[in-house]
Amino acid sequence: MKLTVTVNGTDHTREVEPRLLLIHFLRDGLGLTGSHWGCDTSNCGACVVWLDETPVKSCTVLAAMADGHRVRTVEGLADGGRLDPVQEGFTQCHGLQCGFCTPGMMLTARWLLDHNPSPSEAEVREAISGQICRCTGYENIVRSVLWASRNGG
Amino acid sequence: MIGVREKYEGNGAYGPLTRKEDARFIRGRGTYVDDIKLPGMLHAAILRSPLAHARIVSVDASAARAHPRVEAVITGADLAERGLAWMPTLSADVQAVLATDKVRFQGQEIAFVVAHDSYAARDAIELIAVEYDPLPPVSDATTALDAAAPLVRDDVPGKLDNRVFDWTAGDKAATDEVFAGADVVVGCDMVYPRSHPAPLETCGIIADFDAVRGKLTLWSTSQAPHAHRTIYATLTGLPEHKIRIVSPDLGGGFGNKVPIYPGYLCAIVASMATGKPVKWMEDRSENLMSGSFARDYHMHGEIAASAAGKILGLRASVLADHGAFNATAQPTKFPAGFFHIFTGSYDLRAAFCEVTGVYTNKAPGGVAYSCSFRVTEAVYLVERLVDVLARRLGVDPAELRMRNLLRPEQFPYTCPTGWQYDSGDYPRALRLAMDMAGYAELRREQADRRARGDYMGIGLSFFTEGVGAGPRSHMDILGLAMADGADLRVHPTGKAVLAISVQTQGQGHETTFAQLVAGELGLSPDEVEVVHGDTDQTPFGLGTYGSRSTPVSGAAAVMAARKVRDRARIVAAAMLEVAPDDLEWAEGTWRVRGDPEKALGIGEIAMAAHSSIELPAGVEGHLDASAVYNPPNLTFPFGAYICVTDVDPDTGEVAVRRFVAVDDCGVRINPMIVEGQVHRGLADGIGMALMQAIVFDEAGNCLGGSFMDYLLPTAKECPSYELGATVTPSPHHPVGAKGVGESATVGSPPAVVNSVVDALAPLGVVHADMPLTPASVWRAIQGRPLRPDLAVE
Ligand code: FES
Ligand code: FES
């Protein structure tokens, strides 16, 4: 089937199998390998991207479902050359180690701060609780998001 | 962070520098194996056994081969023709690459399908017909040595039972004598359940064989690329210099990426057969079900003490479940890893342990998961026993530990099983942890809450690790001694490139190692580029695991830098027209003694070293240097942890309220990175203590094969950690560092369990096995501890 998805502001039209998952469409079809895949069961959140205005687990969305919609990935987080405060926060607060969960965590954090510019620690933990990080014990991810909220949102 | 801060060494290059590697990761521009796409690349999938134990009657792959998108199917029979159906494990056992005779665990590899895309490869494995003749499985290690137990390893000539090894350490007679004379002896059975490191990125490989150049290039999720290259050379018959392994960015490892898995070898064979690059990436179920389990120790421990609470002796007997193939990664001499460091942090007279390894119909692996070669199990055993003893004696567990901890003046200390601890000030670390936690106040709060019927627990653990393996005279993996090399090149403008043998999986080597070299040469860390993970570009070494990067490879980097500095001194002397002995190294420069105005930095010296300046006879010019570091001993990091929990006695739910962790890993090169490593390990401890376990049913079905069943902690189960530090430098490491990667994973599980058991003390609970899920806590409250290695009671 043929579909058109607007990814980070650019339209992409492709012929795909109906069963193709959005994560594979992004990674293999468009070469946007910043979004990762980490489980078979929608548990880990390494694949989180935005579908229109909402974070979704792109391993659990068919590419076909994104037809005619907008997708935002980690590659679209920075505004031109300017890093998003969330990206700055993850660097300043050592919010990543291996970096595998990081794109998904940052996209969820971006959504949280858009809707709740000054979250409490508990609200940050709640927001990322559908995602797994095996490296940081979450401490510095939480600090990174709080840093971003204090430094430009 | 609170604690004893001693001045950072390294001429100001040490400290909490943000990481160089972050720039690419926050932009989504890391390069993990699965991100790499080569022209014409094929995709593979593996057919795995649904049964734990069965004879294979037939494998029919004809329908899969006929699939229009399939390029090749490899079965065990195909590999047998090439002599590759079996491969050696890291413990000198053998492991089936693709099963030919029997399947021995659920998830075992049977056939390898190579197709033009990954979806087609998955479709085609469904087309392979395998006929099985089911056999009764060994699904419980405690019955593996029964006379009637099915034989797992009938492939081994003459093998008549499921015993892998019997191993002992310590002095049995002396220990028995101490026990016979002791006032108090307490014991406990405990299981350290099977666990899995589960890095967020699973394992995988791209094999690319170039028949014209005769060169095999592997992009691989490998924590030990050099050791892997040697093993692949031995296995495939390809000359070692024609094999290049690139281990690019890794999405975590924690031990999971130390072994060589059957899929890797199949990808190599497939690339050689098809002439095309072949990618194989595990899915999550394959990752959890087929490789690199950890722990699985059934332990009985006993502790002997005087009535006054002086610990006198320890003994332990352990049944170790090694799965179907003995594939643990550990020094050859130590089949139970470093378990015999189980005397822990205490001053005692005698100790003895015996470990028996058995085969079962479960996935192979072992040791893996940030365990410092089984120190995890050892620390858990002794720290649980000390708490059981405290309960028996009616002494506060902190007080009992304080009374028995080794004292600073006893170091270097040789423990009863022979380890020589390098340095430590244990009481200082425990006192700091107690101060940070407000220990006395917590006990008062607990008493108040107990009076109100609440279940609040305070759990301690004190651990000593042995890391940085290891001295080459008695530590090796498959005969390869555990020494590591470093090459340091200094360019004419004084910028440096350090090539190291170890591979980061998130530990931040590109930053820490740059700081190490910068500290030795008076450079800024920005002026040092760290190259790693490519065997064509880096010197030989055994890789990153067992917290060995800083203790071993870090030491090699420093030694290479010191050689550079020595060469620079000769050049600087020529430049300043003085004798080398007239120069002193100060503030990152070589300067004339008594004339600090006459000073040269590495930048100026490097340019001169590459110029036509006249150098003394025998001095070659340039500043480049190499070193191989053979550690004289392990390093011994230690720490004191306090975990506060609240337990709901009606539901069995445990909430971790606070976690105080004081770590002493010697000199901290980048304290920010060190703290990050500790955070991870504390989450591991909460996970292992409360939720993580790979369990099996009686038929040998793995019940932990997905993240729905193998539960990992999220941000909600983890508290905000409270970290402290003391610094006791290692006397034998060139900058006094000890390594920290696994400390918290090793030290934290007993703190959590001790806390939960403490909470339940009013109910008479003395012990409960991990994982302390709500169901198992509730059972413990009912006086029915659950055997966590069995899914059914
Ligand atoms: S890949 Fe794990 S949730 Fe999508
Ligand atoms: S940084 Fe490695 S999984 Fe989060």
Contact B121, B359 (CB under 8 A): no
Percent of chain B with pLDDT over 70: 97
Q: What is the pLDDT of residue B377?
A: 97
Helix (H) or strand (E) holding B186: strand B184-195
For residue A33, give how far its alpha carbon lies from the nearest alpha carbon of chain B (Å).
6
Cβ of B250 within 8 Å of Cβ of A98? The answer is yes
Nearest CA in chain A to B197: A134
For the Cβ of A97 lying below 6 angstroms from any atom of ligand 2, the answer is: yes
Is-contact B320 B360, C-beta < 8 A? Answer: no
Residue B376 lies in a domain: no
- The yes-or-no verdict on residue B686 having pLDDT over 80 is yes
Which residues does B484 contact at the CB level (< 8 Å), separation at least 6? Answer: B500, B501, B502, B539, B540, B541, B542, B548, B552, B553, B556, B628, B629
* Rounded CA separation B702/B361 (Å): 10
Does ligand 1 have an atom closer than 6 angstroms to the CB of A56? no
| pTM over the 0.90 mark | yes
Same domain? For A128 and A90 the reply is yes
- Identify whether residues B458 and B474 lie together within a single domain: no
| CB–CB contact A125 B715 (8 Å) | yes
pLDDT band at A63 (very low <50, low <70, confident <90, very high): very high
Whether the CB of A16 sits within 6 Å of ligand 2: no
List, in sequence order, the alpha helices (H) in B454-553: 509-521
CA of B339 to the centre of ligand 2 (A): 29
Tell me which residue in A24, A92, A135 faces B252 most closely, judged by beta carbons: A135
Is position B479 within any domain? yes
When pLDDT is averaged across residues B517-527 and rounded to a whole number, the result is 96
CA B103 to chain centre: 28
Residue B571 near residue B613, CB atoms below 8 Å: yes
Q: What is the pLDDT of residues B44-78, one digit of tens each?
A: 999 999 999 999 999 999 999 999 999 999 999 99
Please indicate, yes or no, whether residues B551 and B479 belong to a single structural domain of this protein.
yes
| Confidence band of B92 (pLDDT split at 50, 70, 90) | confident
- Ligand 2 centroid from CA B672, angstroms: 16
pLDDT of the residue at B366: 73
Ligand that lies nearest to the alpha carbon of residue A100, given by its number in the listed order: 2
* Amino acid code (one letter) for B522: G
Bond into A95 cis (ω within 30)? no
The answer to whether the CB atoms of B249 and A99 lie below 8 A apart is yes
Nearest residue to B670 via CA among B783, B512, B527, B549: B512
Q: Report the gap between the CA of B49 and the closest CA in chain A (Å).
A: 18
Q: How many CB atoms lie within 10 A of CB A77?
A: 22
Q: Which of B25, B284, B505, B672 to probe the A interface (max A CBs under 10 A)?
A: B25
Same domain, yes or no: A70 and A94: no
Task: State residue B792's pLDDT score.
Answer: 34
Closest alpha carbon to B19 in B675, B560, B742, B741: B675
Which of B581, B602, B629 is the last residue before a domain boundary?
B629
Residue B467 one-letter amino acid: V
Task: Please give the full DSSP string across B82-151, using - where no structure is assigned.
Answer: TT-SEEE-TTS-EEESS-SSEE-STT-EEEEEEESSHHHHHHHHTT-EEEEEE------GGGTTSTTSPP
Q: Which residues pair with B32 in a beta bridge?
A: B249
Measured from the Cα of A39, ligand 1's closest atom is: 2
Please say which residue of A76, A101, A126 terminates a domain: A76
- Indicate if B679 and B569 belong to the same structural domain: no
Residue B133 maps to a domain: yes
B602, B629, B656 - which closes a domain? B629
Specify whether the CB–CB gap between B115 and B69 falls below 8 A. yes
Q: At which of A50, A76, A102 does a domain end?
A: A76
Name the closest residue on chain A to residue B369, using Cα atoms: A134
Q: What amino acid occupies position B172?
A: K
Q: For residue A135, what is the domain's CATH number?
A: 1.10.150.120
Q: Are A51 and A61 in contact (CB under 8 A)?
A: yes
Question: φ, ψ for residue B31 (rounded to 5)?
Answer: -125, 95
Q: Best residue in B196, B200, B284 to probe A by mutation, most A CBs within 10 Å? A: B200
Closest listed residue to residue B223, CA positions, set B256, B264, B181: B256
The C-alpha angle B483, B488, B494, rounded to 5 degrees, equals: 160
Of the CA atoms within 13 Å of residue A96, those in its CB half-sphere come to: 31
What is the per-residue pLDDT across A17-60, written as a single tens digit (0 to 9) for each?
A: 999 999 999 999 999 999 999 999 999 999 999 999 999 999 99
Please give the distance, rounded to the nearest whole angstrom, from the Cα atom of residue B778 to the centre of ligand 2.
33
Same domain flag for A55 and A32: yes
List the structure tokens of B739.
């390594």
How confident is the model over B640-667, as a mean pLDDT?
96
Ligand 1 atom, smallest distance to A37 CA: 1
Q: Inform me whether the pLDDT recorded for B91 exceeds 60.
A: yes
**A92, A131, A138 member nearest B683 (Cβ):** A138
Residue A108 near residue A98, CB atoms below 8 Å: no
Q: Is A46 in the pocket of ligand 2 (CB under 6 A)?
A: no
Reading the block at residue B578, the tokens are: 């003085």
Q: Whose CA is nearest to atom 3 of ligand 1?
A: A42
Average pLDDT over every residue of A136-152: 98
Query: Would you say the CB of residue A137 lies under 6 angstroms from ligand 2?
Result: no
Sorted by sequence, the CB contacts under 8 Å of residue B179 that are 6+ apart come out as: B185, B302, B304, B312, B313, B315
Let me know if residue B277 belongs to a domain.
yes
Q: What is the pLDDT of residue B329?
A: 85
Report which ligand 2 atom has the smallest distance to the Cα of B200.
3
Structural domain boundaries enclosing B650: 420-467+635-793
**Which residues face B301 on adjacent strands?**
B188, B316
pLDDT average, residue stretch B202-216: 98
pLDDT of B422 strictly over 90: yes
Domain co-membership, B601 together with B666: no
Residue of chain B whose Cα is closest to the Cα of A80: B27
Mean pLDDT across A90-111: 98
Does residue B69 sit in the same domain as residue B159?
yes
At B788 the pLDDT is: 46
**Local confidence band at B365 (pLDDT 50, 70, 90 cut-offs):** confident
| Interchain pair B200, A126: CB under 8 A | no
Looking at residue B442, its pLDDT comes to 98
In this prediction, residues B341-354 reach a mean pLDDT of 97
Ligand 2 neighbourhood includes A90 CB (under 6 angstroms):
no
CA B568 from chain centre, in angstroms, equals 38
**Residue B717, CB half-sphere, CA atoms under 13 Å: how many?**
24
Nearest C-alpha of chain A: how many angstroms from B447?
Answer: 28
Residue B353, in any domain of the structure: yes
**Based on the domain organization, do B491 and B552 belong to the same domain?**
yes
Task: Tell which atom from ligand 2 comes closest to the C-alpha of B199.
Answer: 3
Distance between Cα A96 and ligand 2 center (Å): 6
pLDDT in tens, B473-506: 888 888 888 899 999 999 999 999 999 999 889 9
Residue of B nearest to A49 (CA): B28
Buried b (16+ CB within 10 A) or exposed e, B745-766: bbbbbbbbbbbbbbbbeeeebb
| Pocket mutation for ligand 1, best pick of A21, A25, A44 (most atoms within 8 Å of C-beta) | A44
Distance CA(B704)–CA(B741), nearest Å, equals: 26
Test B720 with A135 for CB contact under 8 angstroms: no
Cross-chain residue pair B673–A98, CB shorter than 8 Å: no
- What are the pLDDT digits (tens) for B440-470? 999 999 999 999 999 999 999 999 999 998 8
Is B84:B265 a contact under the CB 8 Å cutoff? yes
**Partner-chain contact A91 B18, CB within 8 Å:** yes
A6 and A66 inside one domain: yes
CA distance between the termini of chain A: 40
Q: Residue B122 burial by CB count (10 A; 0-12/13-18/19+): exposed, middle or buried?
A: middle
* Distance in Å, CA B741 to ligand 2 centroid: 14
Q: What is the largest CA-CA distance in chain B?
A: 86
Kindly state whether residues B495 and B440 are assigned to the same domain.
Answer: no
Same domain for A115 and A59 = no
The region that residue B38 occupies, defined by phi over 0 for left and psi between -120 and 50 for alpha, beta otherwise, is beta
Closest A-chain CA to B511: A97
Domain of A25?
2-76
Atom number in ligand 2 closest to CA B201: 3
Q: A71 with A91, same domain?
A: no
A64 lines ligand 1 (CB under 6 A): no
Distance CA B424, CA B410 (A): 9
Question: With helix as H, strand as E and coil as C, how does B403-448 read?
Answer: HHECCHHHCCEECCCCCEECCCCHHHHHHHHHHHHCHHHHHHHHHH
Contacts of A102 in chain B (CB under 8 A): 25-26
Q: What pLDDT score was predicted for residue A81? A: 87
> Cα–Cα distance between B193 and B778 in angstroms, integer?
18
- Ligand nearest to the backbone CA of B708: 1
Q: Is the CB of A104 under 6 A from ligand 1?
A: no
Check which CATH number belongs to the domain holding B755 and give it. 3.30.365.10
Q: Please report whether residue B77 resides in a domain.
A: yes
Rg (CA), chain B: 27
Using CB atoms, pick whichever of A20, A99, A129 lies closest to residue B714.
A129
**Subunit contact A138:B28, Cβ cutoff 8 A:** no
Per-residue pLDDT band for B4 (boundaries 50, 70, 90) equals very low
Number of A to B CB contacts under 8 A, please give it. Answer: 172
A72 and A89 fall within a common domain: no
Residue to test with chain B: of A62, A125, A135, most B Cβ within 10 A: A135
Same domain assignment for residues B530 and B665: no
The residue written with tokens 């393996």 in the block is B469
Same domain, B479 and B459: no
CB-based contacts of A86: which residues, under 8 Å, 6+ apart? A77, A106, A109, A110, A113, A144, A145, A148
Reported as a pLDDT band with limits 50, 70 and 90, residue B9 is low
Q: What is the pLDDT of residue B1?
A: 44
3-state secondary structure of B599: strand
Place of tokens 């050359």: A81
Residue type, B349: R
Residue B415 maps to a domain: no
Q: Same domain, yes or no, for A13 and A56? A: yes
Rounded to an integer, the average pLDDT of B620-635 is 95
State the pLDDT at residue B11. 67
Average pLDDT (B369-381) is: 94
Domain match, B198 and B334 both: yes
We report the CATH number of the domain holding residue A35 as 3.10.20.30
- At B749, is the pLDDT very low, low, confident or very high (cuts 50, 70, 90)? very high
| Claim to verify: residue B120 and residue B70 sit in the same structural domain | yes
The pLDDT tens digits of the residues spanning B141-187 come to: 999 999 999 999 999 999 999 999 999 999 999 999 999 999 999 99
Q: 3-class SS at A124?
A: helix
DSSP A98: S
The answer to whether position B72 is within a domain reads: yes
Minimal-distance CA residue of chain B relative to A105: B26
Is A55 touching ligand 1 by the criterion CB < 6 Å?
no
Q: What total of structural domains would you count in chain A?
A: 2
Task: Provide, rounded to the nearest whole percent, the portion of chain A with pLDDT above 70.
Answer: 100
* CATH number where B231 lies: 3.90.1170.50
- DSSP-based three-state secondary structure for A120: coil
Tokens of B100: 């030919």
pLDDT band at residue B790 under the 50/70/90 scheme: very low
Q: B6: pLDDT confidence band, cut at 50, 70 and 90?
A: very low
B772 with B691, same domain: the answer is yes
ipTM of predicted complex: 0.98
With a 6 Å cutoff on the Cβ, whether A1 touches ligand 1 is no
Residue B212: count other Cβ atoms within 10 Å of its Cβ.
6
Comparing C-alpha atoms, which of B535, B523, B420, B429 is closest to residue B474?
Answer: B420
- Does the N-terminal peptide bond of residue B427 adopt cis geometry, omega within 30 degrees of 0? no
In angstroms, rounded to a whole number, what is the distance separating the alpha carbons of residues B222 and B216? 16
**How many domains are there within chain B?**
3
Q: Is B759 helix (H, G, I), strand (E, B) or coil?
A: helix
The Cα–Cα gap between A116 and B480 comes to: 55
Question: What integer best gives the mean pLDDT of chain A?
Answer: 97
Question: Which of A76, A98, A129 delimits the end of a domain?
Answer: A76
The strand pairing partners of B365, in sequence order, are B293
- As to burial, measured by CB atoms within 10 angstroms (0-12 exposed, 13-18 middle, 19+ buried), residue B581 is exposed
B190, B299 Cβ separation under 8 angstroms: yes
Rounded-to-integer distance, Cα A112 and Cα A103, Å = 14
CA distance A86 to A141: 10
Per residue in B108-136, pLDDT tens? Answer: 999 999 999 999 999 999 999 999 999 99
The answer, yes or no, to whether any atom of ligand 2 lies below 6 A from the CB of A100, is: yes
Do B680 and A136 make contact, defined as CB atoms within 8 angstroms?
A: yes
Predicted confidence at residue B785, as pLDDT, reads: 62
Decide which of B629, B661, B696 is a domain's last residue: B629
Using CB atoms, which residue from B19, B27, B716 is nearest to A78?
B27
The answer, yes or no, to whether the previous bond of B137 is cis (omega within 30 of 0) is no
Of A97, A124, A126, which has the smallest distance from its Cβ to B676's Cβ? A97
B3, pLDDT greater than 80: no
- pLDDT of B789 higher than 80: no
